[in-house]
Structure 1
């Protein structure tokens, strides 16, 4: 079966290669963002997996709740403690952050950065409530500069994700990495955007990460993926025409259900009998 990839940088393909034999697997996605666009977990959900999505942005949380009903969706941040934090939201992007320095950079670049107060929970408390008795097959963290506080709120002695991937663009400080490696994880791959870590008890999975995604992985990019062929003008026109047809059909149904329409139909029947 062809694997449909949604992630921005082949993350889901790499993870699927390592974990595809796992049935009904379980993931935790911290900074889940959109349930489809650039999602690392969408393909896994479509293949019968479930998990926990941690997402503070209201629009993304609502979309996750609607499109991922089998998942546990939490509207909060993961942090070092249970607290209230200032969150810098940038709608329509994956750049929202808890880091004021990064927020300033985005604001200086002309982005619409809006401050809001959100609740945070430790990742350990989330696992304790929602992952008891579950193997955590992978933990993905994408929190735009807030990595250290997320990791400090996790108890890796009790909760042992098989694979951890953390977004770590090349220019970002990784002083927090010892929080992962000292907990018995090995850094096995940097893909240009993310660093992958394997629990020492699951190092047998490392060969799956040794080569980049290739044709043997039997994957396709989802429609609209930035690496896929761009949608043609004809496809855009067809989609627009279908949308107009659906709107016209909805308007027709509404008109047919109106009292005026029903009265006209009764009058026509009366005139035909006359």
Structure 2
């Protein structure tokens, strides 16, 4: 099955290369944004994976709840405390932030910034409630300048994502990287947008990051991807129909992989034997 990439910088291809041998995997997406456009987790959800989406913007939260019924979606921001924070929301973009300096910069640039109060939670509390001792195969953080505060709210001694990818600025002048490396992670890649870390106990996955995504990964870009070429109306309609079919197939696989489905199948077999 050809891998359809939705992420803006091939992040999902790199992750799939490292993790495709695992079924029913689990992820945490902090700053999940749109469930499809530029999504790092969409391709995984379509293959039966599930996870936790942390997204404060109402429109994206609603879309995630509707399109990702098997995920846990939380309308909040991740932080180092449970104090309410001011969100500098920029509708229709992935540029919303709770970092005051970043919010003020984007206001000064003339962006359509809306301030609102949002709830905050630590990643530790989120994991305690929703991870349920499951292995966390990857943690993605895209929080527009709020990275250090998010990381300070995570107990990496207890919760050990195998792979962490954090969107970082071009200048890479961040001061928080030691919070990850001191917790037993190795920085293995900067891809131009994200810094990638591997847990020391999963350094066997490092070869997956040696080369950039290529044709050997057997992938296609999703319809409408920023790096794809323009297509005709007929091609767009065909691609949309194929996407709907793939989405339906993915939903069926996710349902078949669910505990409820498996329980029903066991009950049917028991009734037949009885």
Do they fold alike, i.e. is TM over 0.5? yes
- Structure 1 length-normalised TM: 0.85
Taking the aligned partners of 1:225 and 1:30, their CA distance within structure 2 comes to 22
For 2:174 and 2:110, how far apart are their aligned partners in 1? Answer: 27
Higher mean alpha-carbon deviation, 117-126 vs 105-114, is at: 105-114
1:181 aligns with 2:181: yes
Cα distance change, pair 80–10 in 1 and its aligned pair in 2 (3 A): same
Q: Is the 8 A contact 1:85 1:120 kept in 2?
A: yes
Give 1:165's aligned residue: 165
| 1:7-18 correspondence runs (5 A) | 7-18=7-18
Distance 2:235 2:76 in 1: 38
CA displacement 1:12-56 (0-9 Å, x = unmatched):
000000000011000000000000000000000001100000000
Give the structure with higher Rg (CA).
Answer: 1
2: distance between equivalents of 1:77 and 1:231?
37
Runs of 4+ in 1 over 6 A off after TM superposition: none
More relative contact order in 1 or in 2 (CA 8 Å, sep 6+)?
2
- How far residue 128 of structure 1 moved from its aligned partner, in angstroms, is 0.3
Q: Distance in 1 between matches of 2:230 and 2:12?
A: 21
Provide the C-alpha distance between the structure 1 equivalents of 2:148 and 2:169, rounded to a whole number of angstroms.
15
For the 8 Å contact 1:88–1:114, the answer to whether it is kept is: yes
CA–CA distance in structure 1, aligned partners of residues 107 and 234 of structure 2: 37
Structure 1 portions without partners, runs of 5+:
243-274
| Partners of 1:186 and 1:112 in 2: CA distance | 38
Q: CA deviation at 1:232?
A: 2.9
Structure 2: any 5+ residue segments left out of the alignment? Answer: 242-274
Q: CA deviation at 1:180?
A: 0.1
In the alignment, what sits opposite 1:94? 94
Partner in structure 1 of residue 126 of structure 2: 126
Residue in 2 that maps onto 1:60? 60
In the alignment, what sits opposite 2:218?
A: 218
Paired position in structure 2 for 1:30: 30
- The Cα RMSD (Å) is 1.4
Residues 224 and 231, structure 1, Cα contact 8 Å, conserved in 2? no
* Alignment-derived partner of residue 105 in structure 2: 105
Distance 1:234 1:72 in 2: 36
The residue matched to 2:84 in structure 1 has which SS?
Answer: strand
SS at match of 2:176: helix
* Post-superposition CA distance 1:73-95 (Å, at most 9, x none): 00000000111000000000000
Give the corresponding residue for 1:154: 154
Cα separation, 1, equivalents of 2:187 and 2:51: 23
Structure 1 equivalent of residue 39 of structure 2:
39
Task: Give the superposition deviation at 1:184.
Answer: 0.2
Residue of structure 2 in register with 1:262 after alignment? none
State the shift of 1:102 in Å.
1.1
User: By how many angstroms is 1:203 displaced?
Assistant: 0.0
